[in-house]
Amino acid sequence: MIKHEFNGEKINKSEIYALIACHNYEKTKKSIERIQKAINKNNILEVLIDLYSSENSKSKLDNYLKPMNTYYKDLLPKVRAYGTKSLPGYDNGSSNLSNIPLKKLENLKTVSRKTTEITSLSYTPDDYNVFETSYQPQKSTKVILFTSCSKEKPYSSSRTVKTLEKLISELNLSNKVEIIIISGMYGPVPLSHDEKEPVRKYDYKLHESNKNRMKLLTNRTIEFIKKYEEEPYYFVAYLTSKPYRKILKEIKEQFNDLDILPQDPNTRTIKEFHKKSNLSQLEDWLENKLEG
């Protein structure tokens, strides 16, 4: 077995790789923890710039930015190009940027053509709860249609919602079908609430690994169905995203009258959402339930 000298000792190459991996893990873990704390304290900009200054690496900075929202993705390239001292309000000799009003940074912001809102990581599930609003389905409603949330905000601007609205409109059922978005942040959100600020501006992607969030969404959706199950509504979910289907399947164990479409999609991707044969399942379902 080949051994290499490492720190004055002869050890196996695999042990060296293991030590390097442990070192990289600890370093990354500390950076993530620092970013998480910064988000909670609302000084993420300061921390990102400090990380950039210490690492001095474009590729590493880009990795830090991957989970960040649109605002910072657009802002930090300008920091790379012009340096921190070019930022309005930057105090020479100090890296403290937490007190800079965001409005002073507006001239450094560029928004993607596909982005209609500047989103934020600072929102929590406490910022919106449908049960704390005055929401009631329209009197003409016959169907509660659940679907998963979208990256685009407001939801009504997303391709998924537009696809559903088009199908419903072509069936002349717009006044009978109420679309409820299952938000990865808040659980049930009526489409009519998609202009509310916490709904319009949050930035979050749901993962199955986040057990607490999965449980919260499940519980809120169950509570929503319970609230209206005595009404003469049909409940159906049309979605293809894996974590959201998992939530709805768990709920179906308690509410057998909840139908989940499409049945057995080939993949759990957005492509399946727009597949004509899958949309036909929803069309047939609506026609069957609301015929006459």
Are the C-beta atoms of 183 and 130 separated by less than 8 Å?
Answer: no
pTM: 0.64
CB atoms within 10 A of CB 204: 20
Are the C-beta atoms of 119 and 69 separated by less than 8 Å?
Answer: yes
pLDDT of residue 34: 82
Are the C-beta atoms of 99 and 51 separated by less than 8 Å?
Answer: no
pLDDT of residue 206: 92
CA 277 – CA 81 distance, rounded (Å): 49
CA 158 – CA 237 distance, rounded (Å): 17
pLDDT of residue 222: 97
Residues contacting residue 286 through CB under 8 Å, at least 6 positions apart: 143, 168, 171, 173, 177
pLDDT of residue 9: 75
Which spans in the chain are helix H? 13-41, 44-55, 58-65, 70-82, 159-170, 197-201, 211-228, 242-252, 270-273, 276-290
**Check whether domain 125-290 has CATH 3.40.50.10630, yes or no:** yes
pLDDT tens by residue, 62-89 = 555 554 444 455 555 555 554 544 444 4
Give which of 146, 124, 130 is closest to 245, Cα–Cα.
146
Write down the mean pLDDT value for the chain. 80
What are the residue ranges spanned by the domains of the chain?
3-108, 125-290
Q: Kindly list the averaged pLDDT for each block of 10 residues, start to end, along the chain of length 292.
A: 68 80 88 78 66 55 51 52 47 42 38 47 89 96 96 94 97 96 97 95 89 95 95 96 96 96 86 95 96 68
Tell me the two tokens of residue 49.
Answer: 């710039």
